[in-house]
Structure 1
Amino acid sequence: MLTLLHLLSSIALLVWGTHIVRTGIMRVFGSHLRRLIGQSMQHSPLAFGAGIGVTALVQSSNATALLAISFVAQGLMTLPTALAAMLGADVGTALMARVLTLDLSWLSPLFTLIGVCLFLTRKQSRAGQFGRVLIGLGLIILALQLIVHAAAPITEARGMEVLFSSLAGDTLLAVVVGAAFALLSYSSLAAVLLTATLAGAGLISLPVALGLVIGANIGSGALAWLNASLQPASARRVALGNLLYKLAGLAVLPFLDPLVAWMGTLGYSPQTQVIGFHLTYNTLRCLTLLPTVGLMARLCEYLLPEREADIGVAQPRHLDPAALDTPSLALANAVRETLRIGDLVEAMLARLQSVLLDERPESGEEIRRMDDDVDALYSGVKLYLARMDREDLAEEEGRRWAEIIELTINLEQAGDIIEHMLGKIQRIKTAKRRTFSHDGQEELSQLHALLSANLRLGLTVFLSSDPHSARQLLEQKRQFRRSERELAHAHVHRLHHRVMESIDTSATHLELIADMKRLNSLFCSPAYAAIEADSLVQTGQHGARAEKPMPPGAPADSAAT
């Protein structure tokens, strides 16, 4: 029982090591990997090579699948190109399996020592995340050694021989077991490494090992399909084509017995034979299927047609779940979606002006519909940011996270305020059949124009964090306050002269000015974050200059100066 526990714990360590390497690489090089795939999206051969390179670095074809799926979902990559990248990903996984089964036992303590030192001392930096990758590599190599030692006593047990001999007579069962393990471990690479190690230890026969390898490839395809199940049809086609390509590999099963007999004459160890089969099998399969990506794309489009679904509210476009392992990319996606919310609020303001001037009666319904869209997108951004682990964010990324969530909250509140302003205007014009005086309507339009300009500048400051624009925004905020006070006084002056329209609409007029004042404060909030960030940078630069050592030969009193 203890021996079996050691084996299971070693397998768990292998799975955990591959997970650490995958997430660490995505956090350090995720933006570069996405750029590499994005630059290769015009040509299938280039996409095939990019898939090999990205997967070899990330050590996970599933991570490459998530990247390709997100590109197709956003319309940045065609389906045939994405399928070519997925074929390259299978070859990249096989290459990494070959590298990790070399005799690298001496690297395990070295990688672990260096990785722990980097991660603990510089956790929030890129160097710290690279240390995380080294820790994962060290754990993978160590886990492979532990599996060999734990499997040795098991190979001598008769019960285990009977158990694994039942797989030897049913290749399809071995394929199913391999697929199940790839699903459970979230990594076909871990499944293949484990299979090769068990075959090298003599725990499983070569035919069983080859069946498990084929099943592990199919399991990774099923995993990508499950991950894409909530994506739009265009993205699910990538996962479907990838799965169909992996299922096409079952065509090798009738030739497995003569292949095993031929491999036995080569004189290589069982572990080398398993890894060699995995590399050759994936390379030949993918190169053979590469010219068919266009046909496969048309088949997937036929099987998964696009269906228009009108659910009444806007849906997030840029919140890619695959980018969550790369904080810089995830934050950039959240920024894009936040700017989309800002565009909706700006459109609501424009419709409000139409209602105020009686230009478009249908603008009221449009405002209410857009407020529902703002609420939906706000909820999407909020939940997306909540999925990010703030402990793993660098200091600057943590500040940006806070800026995004604060602005989305402000924009959601602004949408509610605009909807309430709409109700006030419609009540005074429809229910009470009153109209604003000509001067009063001009004043509200004047404030509206200033408000719209401040919203646009606020979104620009949020995007660029430019301190000069931030100071300009604060100056415009003060100008708006001055205009708001002057117009409120002008309204009271008209009341003094008993202008009937102003008397009838006085309460609503002043409430609308107060609402615009609140909106202006919400729109100008990004200025404070930009100025605070700039002051922190300036403080850091001054601190660095203050700590700079004096050059040799400098006078002793220069420090006091």
Structure 2
Amino acid sequence: MLTLLNLLSAVALLIWGTHIVRTGILRVYGSNLRRLLSRSVRRRPLAFASGIGVTALVQSSNATALLVSSFVAQGLMLLAPALAIMLGADVGTALMARVLTLDLSWLSPLLIFFGVIFFLSRKQTRLGQLGRVGIGLGLIILALQLIIAAAEPITTAKGVKVLFSSLTGDVLLDALTGALFAMVSYSSLAAVLLTATLAASKVISLKVALCLVIGANLGSGVLALLSSSLQNPAGRRVALGSLLFKLAGCILVLPLVGPLANWIDSWPISTAELVIAFHLLYNSVRCTLCLPLTVPMARFCDWLLPDRPQPDDVAKPRHLDPADLETPSLALANAVRETLRMGDIVEQMLNNLLHLLRGGDPLLGKDIHRLDDDIDALYTAIKLYLARMPREDLGERDSRRWAEIIELTINLEQAGDIIERMLDDVQSKNNAQGRAFSDEGLGEIVSLHDQLVENLHLALSVFLNGDLENAKRLRRAKQRFRILERRFAHAHVSRLHQQVVQSIETSALHLGLIGDMKRLNSLFCAIAYAVLDNPDAPDAVEDEHAPAAPSHFFEPEIGSHR
């Protein structure tokens, strides 16, 4: 029993080391890997090569599958090049299995020792995260040694020999057993290494070992499909296509396992190395042959998993992929895109309100209420998504970005509420009684609306790019809007003094609308001060008219602001 526990703990250590390497690489180079994958979709050979490279870095084809599935789910990548990347990921996994089986025992203590020093001393820096990667690599090498050491006593036990003696004839049963190994250990690499150890100890024959390797590859495909179960149909098609490619390879190769075992057995290398070499050869040949078939496979997966019709209710987040939460740069980029979507909905609400003021379709009021519900739903989704991020691993820049996203989403949610209240005022006051604004009054509201939408566009640009010059432009635009609002308010009072009937009838509504627009403008322009207050921004000049930064800006409370 103790020997079995040692083996299981060694496998667990291997999985944990792989997880540490994956998260460390993604936190340091996540954006670059994302850019590499997104730019390699034009040519299948390039996509194939990028899948090999990325998987070799992150030490896991499942991690590559999660990245690629999120791209396809968000509409950033077509399915065919995504399948080409997944084929490259399978080859990358087999290649790293060969590299990690070399005698690197001397490297493990060095990687762990220096990795711990760098990680604990500079945790929030890139060097600290690279130290985390070193720890993970050291643990992987150590775990491989422990697996070999723990498996040796097991292979000599009579019960184990009896158990594996059943795997001597049925290639399908052997393959299913290998798939089960991979799924239980949550790693095809661990299953392949255990198979190589059993074959080297003569517990199983080479033929059985090859069947177990083929099955382990199939099990990794099942794992990827299960991991993508929470994604939309577009994201699940990536894992489905990869699994179907592996299933096809399994069906074609299993009948030839006997002749292949006889051929490979003549190679002048050890039995364990024969198993690892077959793993690399099998994946390389299978993936190369499947590469031209990615387009037909994509069509077949589209037919098997069609898009579900979206219900006509509140908006659902499109970019908040839970798989990216372990990679802060990717998760923050997802939240930024969803926040920009909130900004687009606010603009649509403003435009619908203006059409309604001009005598447009009264049904636009229902659209405004529905759009405000969309903003509330997206705000809640972004807030909860950011709350799930591991903030203790965020660097200073990512922490500021986290706070900026929270701040802007709060402001946009408040803006939606203000616009909805403006609609209620329009419907319940003078306009509901058939009264209309004077030509001058309507022109003033239109001018303020146009300036407000322009400031919203500029604010979203500043939020996205953090450009200092545009932030200064936005700050000046805020002051111009205030001057314009005061001038229009004085002009309205002048019309009241001149006894303009339309101005008298709509006075309360007119002044209320321009006051609400002023508040909306302040909410939109607040992002300028976040950029100008950034200590990394050069020449940031304090604005004597700028409001003080809210106390929750850098440490916002995750909860309702109402």
* TM-score (normalised: structure 1): 0.88
Structure-1 separation of matches of 2:124 and 2:538: 17
Query: Which residue is equivalent to 2:365?
Result: 364
Change (3 A) 1:38 1:496: closer
Residues 264 and 274 in structure 2, CA contact (< 8 A), matched pair in contact too: yes
Q: CA deviation at 1:500?
A: 4.5
1:424-454 CA-partner distances (Å, limit 9, x unpaired):
1012245444333444434433332332232
1:379 is matched with 380
Aligned residue for 2:397? 396
Distance in 2 between residues matched to 1:537 and 1:20, nearest whole Å: 36
Deviates more, 1:525-534 or 1:370-379: 370-379
**Which residue does the alignment assign to 2:338?**
337
Against the structure 1 CA distance between its residues 535 and 154, is the aligned structure 2 distance closer, same or farther, given a 3 Å change threshold?
closer
Deviates more, 1:93-102 or 1:160-169: 160-169
Partners of 2:113 and 2:292 in 1: how far apart?
46
- Contact kept, 8 Å, 2:531 with 2:537, in 1: the verdict is no
Which range is displaced more, 222-231 or 259-268? 259-268
| 3-state secondary structure, aligned to 1:472 | helix
Partner of residue 241, structure 2:
241
* TM-aligned CA deviation for residue 311 of structure 1: 3.2
**Cα separation, 1, equivalents of 2:292 and 2:477:** 60
89-98 or 495-504, which moves further after superposition? 495-504
Tell me: CA distance 1:383–1:187, structure 2 relative to 1, closer, same or farther (3 Å): farther
| Cα gap change, 1:48 to 1:58, in 2 (>3 Å) | same
Q: What pairs with 1:313-352 in structure 2 (closer than 5 Å)? A: 313-352=314-353
Cα distance in 2 for partners of 1:45, 1:473 equals 46
Query: Which ranges in structure 2 are unaligned for 5 or more consecutive residues?
Result: 541-562
Amino acid at match of 2:279: H
Whether the 8 Å contact between 2:426 and 2:432 is mirrored in structure 1 is: no
1:314-363 Cα offsets, whole Å, 9 max, x none, are: 33333344443432233223222222211221121121111112144343
C-alpha deviation, 1:502, in angstroms = 4.1
Pairs within 5 Å for 1:114-513: 114-201=114-201, 204-250=204-250, 251-266=252-267, 268-429=269-430, 431-492=432-493, 494-495=495-496, 499-513=500-514
SS of equivalent to 1:105 = coil
Give, in whole Å, the separation in 1 of the partners of 2:57 and 2:400. 30
Residue 399 to residue 257, structure 1, CA distance change in 2 (3 Å): same
| 8 Å CA contact 2:148, 2:194 repeated in 1 | no
Measured after TM superposition, the shift of residue 497 of structure 1 is 5.7
Partner of 1:552 in structure 2?
A: none
Cα 1:226–1:485 change in 2 (3 A) is same
1:547 aligns with none
In 2: Cα distance, 1:193 partner to 1:235 partner: 30
Compare 100-109 and 245-254 and name the one that shifted more.
245-254
Q: Which residue of 2 aligns with 1:72?
A: 72
Alpha-carbon contact 2:48-2:88 (below 8 Å) kept: yes
Letter in 2 for 1:82: A
**Structure 1 residues 437 and 298, CA gap change in structure 2 (3 angstroms):** closer
CA distance in 2, matches of 1:38, 1:361: 44
Give, in whole Å, the separation in 1 of the partners of 2:237 and 2:184: 23
CA distance in 2, matches of 1:432, 1:75: 47
Query: C-alpha distance in 2, partners of 1:536/1:80?
Result: 42
Structure 1: how far apart are the matches of 2:214 and 2:389? 35
The structural deviation recorded for 1:77 is 3.4
Q: 3-state DSSP class of the match of 1:533?
A: coil
| Cα distance in 2 for residues equivalent to 1:187 and 1:80 | 25
Calculate the aligned-residue CA RMSD, in Å: 2.6
Contact 1:51 1:92 survives alignment (8 Å): yes
Q: Equivalent residue for 1:543?
A: none
Q: Which residue of 2 aligns with 1:86?
A: 86
Question: How far apart in 2 are the matches of 1:514 and 1:204?
Answer: 81
Query: For each residue in 1:50-89, what CA deviation from the matched residue of structure 2 results, as whole angstroms up to 9, or x when unmatched?
Result: 2222222222112222233233334443333222222221
Q: Which amino acid counterpart does residue 111 of structure 1 have in structure 2?
A: L
Query: Is the CA contact (8 Å cut-off) linking 1:179 and 1:215 kept in structure 2?
Result: yes
Per the TM alignment, residue 99 of structure 1 is displaced from its structure 2 partner at its CA by 0.4
CA contact (8 A) 1:461 1:469 kept: yes
Residues 225 and 236 of structure 1 are in contact (CA less than 8 Å); yes or no, is this contact kept in structure 2? yes
Residue identity opposite 2:227 in structure 1? N
String of CA shifts for 1:84-140, please: whole Å, max 9, x gaps: 222221111111100000111000001111211111122112211111111111001
Partner amino acid, structure 2, of 1:122: R
Aligned length: 539
- What letter corresponds to residue 304 of structure 2 in structure 1? L
Residues 480-489 or 137-146, more deviating: 480-489
Q: Distance in 2 between matches of 1:131 and 1:274?
A: 32
In the other structure, the counterpart of 1:106 is 106
Partner AA of 1:138 in structure 2: G
Summarize deviations over 1:215-270 as a string: whole Å, max 9, x none.
22112211222233343433333222211110112232223234334444445323
Tell me, yes or no, if structure 1 residue 39 matches structure 2 residue 42: no
1:231–1:5 Cα change, 3 Å? closer
Q: 1:304 to 1:269 in 2, by over 3 A?
A: same
How far apart are the structure 1 equivalents of 2:260 and 2:248? 18
User: Kindly tell me: are residues 36 and 513 of structure 1, through their superposed partners in 2, closer, same or farther at Cα, counting changes over 3 Å?
Assistant: closer
CA contact (8 A) 1:207 1:257 kept: yes
User: Which residue does 1:542 correspond to in 2?
Assistant: none
Secondary structure at 1:229 match in 2: coil
2-structure distance, mates of 1:198, 1:255: 22
Does structure 2 conserve the Cα–Cα contact (< 8 Å) formed by 1:444 and 1:513?
Answer: yes
Q: Does 1:50 align with 2:50?
A: yes
Q: 1:46 to 1:417 in 2, by over 3 A?
A: same
Measure, in 1, the Cα distance between the counterparts of 2:50 and 2:141: 26
Q: Is the 8 A contact 1:436 1:502 kept in 2?
A: yes
Give the C-alpha shift of residue 201 in structure 1. Answer: 5.0
Contact 1:338/1:404 (<8 A) preserved: yes
Query: TM-score scaled by structure 2?
Result: 0.88
Letter in 2 for 1:19: H
Instruction: Give the Å deviation of 1:495.
Output: 4.8
Maintained 8 Å contact 1:249/1:285: yes
Counterpart CA distance in 2 for 1:469 and 1:259 is: 66
Structure 1 distance, partners of 2:341, 2:429, is 32
Letter in 2 for 1:81: P
CA distance in 2, matches of 1:502, 1:384: 47
- Tell me, in whole angstroms, the C-alpha distance in 2 between the residues paired with 1:289 and 1:430: 66
Query: Aligned partners of 1:295 and 1:491: how far apart in 2?
Result: 67
State percent identity of aligned pairs. 64
Deviates more, 1:391-400 or 1:174-183: 174-183
Check 1:493–1:294 CA distance in 2 against 1; reply closer, same or farther (3 A cut).
closer
Cα distance in structure 1, aligned partners of 2:439 and 2:298: 62
CA 472–81 in structure 1, closer or farther in 2 if over 3 Å, else same: closer
Question: Which whole-Å CA distance do the structure 2 matches of 1:222 and 1:523 have between them?
Answer: 47
Query: Deviations 1:390-432 (Å, cap 9, x if unpaired)?
Result: 1111111110111011101111111121111111101224544
- The aligned residue for residue 560 of structure 2 is none
The 8 Å contact of residues 65 and 224 in structure 1, kept in 2 or not, is answered as yes
CA 1:472/1:138 → structure 2, altered by over 3 Å: closer, same or farther?
same
Structure 1 residue matching 2:166: 3-state secondary structure: helix
What do residues 285-312 of structure 1 show as CA deviations (whole Å, max 9, x unaligned)? Answer: 2222223223323322332334543433
